[in-house]
Structure 1
Amino acid sequence: MANIFGVNVVSPSQHYEQQYLDLMQHIWMNGDERVDRTGVGTRAVFGATMRFDLAEEAIPLLTTKRVFWKTATREMLWFLTGDTNIRSLVEQKVHIWTDWPLDKYRKETGQKINRDEFEQRIIEDKAFAEQWGDLGPVYGKQWVDWPRYTPAGEGLYRREKNGINQIKLLINGLKNNPGSRRHIFTGWNVAELDQMALPPCHKTYQFYVSDGKLSAILYQRSCDLGLGFAFNIYSAALLVRMIAQQCNLDAGELVWNGGDVHLYLNHTELVEEQLSRKPSGAPKFKILQKPDSIFNYQITDFAVENYAPQPHISAPVAV
Structure 2
Amino acid sequence: MIISKNEQAYLDLLKLVLANGSQKGDRTGTGTISYFGSQMRFDLNDGFPLLTTKKIHTKSVIYELLWFLKGDTHVKYLQDNGVRIWNEWATAEQTARFGKPAGELGAVYGHQWRNFGASQKPDGSYNADGFDQISWLVNEIKNNPNSRRLIVSGWNPKEASEVALPPCHTLFQFFIANNKLSCQLYQRSADLFLGVPFNIASYALLTHMIAHVTGLGVGEFVWTGGDCHIYNNHLEQVNEQLSRTPFDLPKLWLNPEIKNIFDFDFDDINIENYQSHATIKAQVSV
1:132 correspondence with 2:102: yes
Which stretch of the first structure deviates more once superposed, 212-221 or 277-286? 277-286
Shift of 1:8: 4.1
Aligned to 2:54: 65
Aligned mate of 1:188, from 155, 159, 162: 155
Distance 1:7 1:228, change over 3 A: closer
Shift of 1:269: 2.1
Shift of 1:305: 1.4
Aligned to 1:54: 44
The residue matched to 2:225 in structure 1 has which SS? strand
Aligned mate of 2:112, from 142, 146, 160: 142
Determine the C-alpha separation between the residues in 1 that align with 2:25 and 2:16. Answer: 19
Shift of 1:30: 2.7
Q: Which runs of 4+ in 1 moved over 3 A?
A: 6-10, 105-108
Q: What is the total number of aligned residue pairs between the two structures?
A: 278
Aligned to 1:27: 17
1:217 correspondence with 2:207: no
Per-residue CA deviations over 1:55-111 (Å, capped at 9, x if unaligned) read 26x210101000111211100000011111111111111100000122725998xxx
The residue matched to 1:268 in structure 2 has which SS? helix
Aligned to 1:93: 82
Shift of 1:251: 0.8
The residue matched to 2:9 in structure 1 has which SS? helix
Per-residue CA deviations over 1:25-58 (Å, capped at 9, x if unaligned) read 22123310000000000001000100000126x2
1:276 correspondence with 2:246: no
1:199 correspondence with 2:159: no
The residue matched to 1:168 in structure 2 has which SS? helix
Q: Is the 8 A contact 2:115 2:128 kept in 1?
A: no
Per-residue CA deviations over 1:265-312 (Å, capped at 9, x if unaligned) read 001221111011111212101102332321110000011112110000
Paired amino acid for 1:214: L
RMSD value over aligned CA atoms? 1.8
Superposition TM-score, scaled by structure 2 size: 0.92
Report the structure number with the largest CA radius of gyration.
1
Aligned to 1:84: 73
Q: Is the 8 A contact 1:281 1:306 kept in 2?
A: no
Aligned to 1:238: 205
Per-residue CA deviations over 1:173-202 (Å, capped at 9, x if unaligned) read 100010000000011011111112211111
Paired amino acid for 1:140: G
Determine the C-alpha separation between the residues in 1 that align with 2:60 and 2:11. Answer: 23
Identity of aligned residues (%): 46
Per-residue CA deviations over 1:219-260 (Å, capped at 9, x if unaligned) read 001100011011000000000001001110001101110000
Distance 1:167 1:106, change over 3 A: closer
Distance 1:176 1:38, change over 3 A: same
Structure 1 unaligned residues grouped into runs of 5+: 1-5, 11-15, 109-129, 150-158
Aligned mate of 1:177, from 131, 144, 151: 144
Distance 1:59 1:67, change over 3 A: same
Determine the C-alpha separation between the residues in 2 that align with 1:7 and 1:93. Answer: 36
The residue matched to 2:83 in structure 1 has which SS? coil
Which stretch of the first structure deviates more once superposed, 281-290 or 261-270? 281-290
The residue matched to 1:19 in structure 2 has which SS? helix
Per-residue CA deviations over 1:108-128 (Å, capped at 9, x if unaligned) read 8xxxxxxxxxxxxxxxxxxxx
Q: Which has the higher helix share?
A: 1
1:18 correspondence with 2:8: yes
Which stretch of the first structure deviates more once superposed, 211-220 or 161-170? 161-170
Q: Matches of residues 261-300 of structure 1 in structure 2 within 5 Å?
A: 261-300=228-267
The residue matched to 2:267 in structure 1 has which SS? helix
Paired amino acid for 2:191: D
